Amino acid sequence: MGFNNPEGWAGPEVAGDLLIASTDKGELSALDPNAESGPQCDNSTDDDQDGWVNEGCPQVGTKAEKGEECDNDTSDDTANGAADDDKVNDGCPHSSLWKFPTGDEEPELDLEAIYGTPIISGDTVFFAAYSGDVYALSLETGEPLWGQPFDTDSAIIAGVALAETALYVADDDGLLRVLDPQTGRQTDVFDAGASIWAAPLLADGVLYVASVDGRLYALDAETLELVWDEPFEAEQGLVSDPVLAAGTVLVGGIDRELHAVDVETGDERWSFAADNWFWGRPLVEDGSVYAPNLDGRLYAISSESGVERWSFKADEPLRSAPVLAGDILVIADREGNVYGLDPDTGALNWPAPAALEKAVLANPLVLNGEVVISAEGGDLFRLDAGAGSFDEVETR
């Protein structure tokens, strides 16, 4: 669970009928999770009125691949004499509307990995890659909108934050850069002095930035000047994405504590200790903080007092954030065991966890009452939170 051999754990994001997800190491795809199928494939009309025609239907060639031939990314029917025998998965269901990089760029693009969940604003997708490059893509086509990506010359682990006229990007060298979202040009920079792994949090004109040396900064989003007299300091690095709760900023770290820091003063109101890192993003709901920990426990904590209400022990460490789907609290552990819990008591709602049998580190997404989970390697799953059952989402 580190960065030496990066795989990335960007969570999926949704825009209208599109699901934007990291479907492979360093690759971003736009998918239709409810693509046309069956009789809808027998015509050339947009049956589901989403702007794409037959987007879930087999892309048939003269001799199309099918069955087990759809389970890989090679052309299994080569040398059959047909003009299109070099096509890959040409008879297989196809729900991917675009991917980036396409593989046709010159020179070839290698993003290495994507850790931060993309941000979608209007018709633009913003994201940062582990390679150090920051991109703005067309939501419709996946084509880059800036002349060149912005290169930070440093690895990027954190997600980005977006205001109307500013894109905030934090890198492993500890620099928080402000980019013009229209052009990708840098307009300002703040040096935190240590690596930044957590996504900046923008709220009410203030930018909260957590660094690996244990500091939490509150910055004026327009000027990058300090809002507090001095940053909050923990004993060790702060690595979880900050969230707001009851007038505080919640951030967890390597010191095995979850800290609630007053948004006005930067003073700590309370802290909660566990047996391992608080790396996953907490969920705040109805006065409770649901905080995942690498000790394998999900803690329910009062957002006002920091007092534990209950805890649930998973089989493996918890890096992924919990989500609330209806009245079911869903959390996935590192090995892909997914649990449905009662948010009031922590009791299991399903007879057994859903076993994806794939490592899960990314934050899930609630979509139309279901939970979309991105597993390591780019596999996507759609979970029925009521039943605890799941299906794999086609990512071709």
Q: Mean pLDDT, consecutive 10-residue segments, the chain of 396 residues?
A: 67 92 89 61 56 51 51 56 51 74 91 96 98 98 96 98 98 99 99 98 98 99 98 98 98 98 98 98 98 99 98 98 98 98 98 95 95 92 96 80
149 upstream amide cis, omega within 30 of 0: no
DSSP label of 2: -
Could you list the residue range(s) of the whole structural domain that residue 360 is in?
326-396
Q: What residues have CB less than 8 Å from 43, skipping those under 6 apart?
A: none
Q: How far apart are CA 30 and CA 52, in angstroms?
A: 12
Q: In the numeric block, which tokens belong to residue 365?
A: 């997404």
Tell whether 63 is covered by a domain. Answer: no
Tell whether 372 is covered by a domain. Answer: yes
- What pLDDT, on a 0 to 100 scale, did the predictor assign at position 95? 75
Tell whether 333 is covered by a domain. Answer: yes
Q: Domain with 357 in it: what CATH number?
A: 2.40.10.480
Nearest residue to 159 (alpha-carbon basis) of 118, 110, 207, 209 = 118
Q: How far apart are CA 320 and CA 278, in angstroms?
A: 11
Query: What's the total number of domains in the chain?
Result: 1
Mind listing the pLDDT tens digit for each residue in 256-297?
Answer: 999 999 999 999 999 999 999 999 999 999 999 999 999 999
Tell whether 103 is covered by a domain. Answer: no
- What pLDDT, on a 0 to 100 scale, did the predictor assign at position 16? 87
- What pLDDT, on a 0 to 100 scale, did the predictor assign at position 24? 81
Nearest residue to 167 (alpha-carbon basis) of 211, 132, 119 = 119
- What pLDDT, on a 0 to 100 scale, did the predictor assign at position 173? 98
- What pLDDT, on a 0 to 100 scale, did the predictor assign at position 93? 52
- What pLDDT, on a 0 to 100 scale, did the predictor assign at position 40? 45
Say if CB 217 and CB 238 are below 8 A apart: no
Tell whether 267 is covered by a domain. Answer: no
Tell whether 376 is covered by a domain. Answer: yes
Tell whether 223 is covered by a domain. Answer: no
- What pLDDT, on a 0 to 100 scale, did the predictor assign at position 205? 98
Tell whether 337 is covered by a domain. Answer: yes
